[in-house]
A and B are shown apart, each in its own frame.
Chain A
């Protein structure tokens, strides 16, 4: 069941990027977020799952659809960037290989179990995700101010 949900979520994620029309892309995105919310509920994290469903399929998608009404129903044509595929391939292969390259660190003669290795991720590395999110939000806010100044500052 979980394999099915995760596979479907990944397929929908790809579909949302491949679609040429805006509304099917938004629908695929909503479905992916809804499936992830259902998966969190199946994992026993009801609050996180409901939060995910309410915030993403409720709030963010309404905002996005409002934006879609402004930009029209079709995505503009864009230049293909072939280097993007190679960058992603290198990063993914690197992320897959690195855990096997790093040997298990013995402390006092014992190898660190997987639970403690994951604890390092939840305690430290996930904070980096928050930091990066705040940085991204700051850059977005700065871009809005810049666009507003460029648009109305000259008039």
Chain B
């Protein structure tokens, strides 16, 4: 029981770090890292629930989340390479201005 609470607190802190990254950072790579942290906090909680309570249904969901994270990674890398080609940097805030200047 204590182990589950420990995992839950760790998942909450990881979720907080990821949320801070998504809201505060302004380059694609760190936003991408933060999104992965958000997804991994959920996976950690699901794995902990499966271990402590035997709820293995959550594990199937965890596998699906990992697959979606992989797809997001591929799409994210494509986005920041394309952004880098268009604007010369990887800051999404300047993208609109750069496209209008073209």
Instruction: Please list the residues of chain A having a beta carbon within 8 angstroms of any beta carbon in chain B.
Output: 2-3, 6, 9-10, 13-14, 16-17, 22, 25, 29, 33, 36, 39-40, 43-45, 48, 51-52, 55-56, 59-60, 63-64, 66-68, 70-71, 75-76, 78-81, 83-85, 87-88, 91-92, 95-96, 114-115, 118-119, 121-123, 126-127, 129-130, 133-134, 136-137, 140-141, 143-144, 147-148, 150-151, 154
Contacts and interface: CB of A to CB of B under 8 A. Distances in A.
A151 B82 CA distance: 9
By size class, the interface of chain B is: 35 or more
Contacts of A129: 39, 42, 61, 65
A66 B77 contact: yes
Contacts of B27: 75-76, 78
A150 B63 CA distance: 35
Interface of B, secondary structure class, is: helix
> What 3 A-B pairs are tightest by C-beta distance, nearest first?
A122-B58, A84-B24, A140-B75
A154 B59 CA distance: 47
A52 B20 CA distance: 23
B55 A119 contact: yes
Nearest to A127: B61
Contacts of A84: 20, 23-24
